[in-house]
Structures are given as C-alpha cells and as structure tokens.
Amino acid sequence: MSNEQQVNHGDHDSESEIQPSYYASRAKAIEALLVQKGVMTTNEINSEVNAMDSKSPADGAKIVALAWLDDSFKTKLLANASEALEEIGYKLPDETPYLKVVENSEDIHHVVVCTLCSCYPRMLLGRPPDWYKSLAYRSRVVVSPREVMEEFGLRLSDDIEVRVLDSTADLRYMVIPRRPLGTDGFDQESLAALVTRDSMIGVSDPLSAHF
Ligand code: FE
C-alpha cells in the first residue's frame, strides 16, 4: 500500500468516527422538535433519560427475590404489578405502560419478546440487550421457542408448556423464574444475586438452577 493510500484510509476512518450515526442524528432531530414545539423541555428529556439509565436488571432481581420469599407479595405482584410494587415503595412513573408479571413453574415456561420492535420492561430491567431487539430473536422465538432457548443454554423437557408473550407499547412483561432448589434459608440479597436479566426475559434459568 502506498503512503497516499494509507493517508486516505486513515482520513476515512477518522471521518467515520466523528460522524454521528443515523439513529443518533434522528434522535437529536426529534429532541429538537419536541423542545421547539413545546412538548417537553430539555430538562424533562434529560431527566427521563437519567431515570431510564438508573434502572438495571438488579431492580428486577430484587423484586423476583422478594416474590420467592413472600407468597402474599408474589400473589399481589402477579395480580397487579404496579400496585404490589407501590406497596413496597417502588413507584413506577405515571406514564409507565401496563406491566404484567408472570411466573414460571414446573408446568409452564414463559418467554418474552416484542415481535414488532423492542418493547421491554425498562422500568424494572433497564435497557434491553441488543439480541432482544434483533430480527433473528423477534422472528425465531415465536416460531421455535425451544430451539432459541436451547441456544441460550436452556433445555426444557417436552412436558413443560411454553408460552411466548408478545409485548407491545402498552403492555410489558416480566418473568418470575423458578426458584432454584437448594436455596432454602437464602435472604433476599443472596437470592437476587441468582436472578439474571435473561431469566426475567425467560430465555434462561436463574444461576445455579437445578430443579
Ligand atoms: Fe416493541
């Protein structure tokens, strides 16, 4: 390669590094319009983004651990998640989409997807992983859920019924995975440490799970 080619190649690279991506440009344009039209202020947008960034799967894991420990909390959580969460001091934002919590058992296994885009219980789990947004996951998990779960390392016996839940902008799902055996006497913190993000989506079991 000649020096000139090397220089050009280098220039091209540095240029692409400083160019914002299509999505970054689009987000910036939408943000500018929201502010310009008086729909939201910049401060309101920033505080929404900060609130979202402050959430992580650790939030969901604490809730799952409490549900494993406290049957009456779990019953309420399954019946009306927002109310149950508010009772433990976990106030969801007013504009939060309806949240449905489901429970995996030895008979039924739920796995969550958004076939249309990337709807996800962000208020409990933070941002979704990239694979959740991929066309491959969104299209395959509804057709061959067992095969997809096997790729995540979860092999379900044939007598377990698999239910694939399709999320929407108005309805989000979170899964309470099965509590691993051998965890009697564990406190909330130790149990929460076993609850992975993927187990709350339903594509895997909690850590050290053996049933
Ligand atoms: Fe979506």
- Is the pLDDT reported for residue 166 higher than 70? yes
Active site residue 105: no
DSSP 8-state secondary structure symbol assigned to residue 198: H
Distance 176 CA to ligand 1 centre (A): 21
Active site residue 118: yes
My answer on whether 24 and 127 are in the same domain is no
Please tell me whether residues 20 and 62 are part of one structural domain.
Answer: no
65 and 31 assigned to the same domain: no
pLDDT in tens, 141-150: 999 999 999 9
Residue 53, Cβ density class (10 Å: 0-12 exposed, 13-18 middle, ≥19 buried): exposed
Q: Residue 209 falls within a domain, yes or no?
A: no
Q: Tell me whether residue 169 is in a domain.
A: yes
Catalytic residue chosen out of the listed positions 25, 105, 117, 190: 117
Greatest C-alpha distance within the chain: 73
If asked whether residues 182 and 137 sit together in one domain, one would say yes
How many domains are contained in the chain? Answer: 2
Q: Which residue has the higher pLDDT, 55 or 198?
A: 198
| Cα distances (angstroms) measured from residue 75 to each of 125, 139, 143 | 21, 32, 31
49 plus 132 within the same structural domain: no
**Catalytic residue list contains 114:** yes
Place of tokens 């008086």: 38
Percent of the chain with pLDDT over 90: 75
- Residue 206 in any domain: the answer is no
- Please report, for the domain that includes residue 83, its CATH number: 3.90.330.10
Task: Tell me how crowded residue 72 is: count the other CB atoms within 10 A of its CB.
Answer: 8
CB 98 within 8 A of CB 173: no
Condensed to tens digits (0 to 9), the pLDDT of residues 90-136 reads 888 777 789 999 999 999 999 999 999 999 999 899 999 999 999 99
Same domain, 24 and 62: no
Per-residue buried b or exposed e for 10-26, using 16+ beta carbons within 10 Å of the residue's own CB: eeeeeeeeeeeeeeeee
Question: Are both 78 and 161 inside the same structural domain?
Answer: yes
Residue 2 lies in a domain: no
- Domain ranges, residue 48: 14-54
Predicted pLDDT at 49: 85
54 assigned to active site = no
Q: Which residues surround ligand 1, an ion (CB under 5 A)?
A: 114, 116-119
Q: Does the structure show a pLDDT above 50 at 15?
A: no
**Tell me: the pLDDT tens digits for 26-65?**
999 999 999 999 999 999 999 888 888 888 999 999 999 9
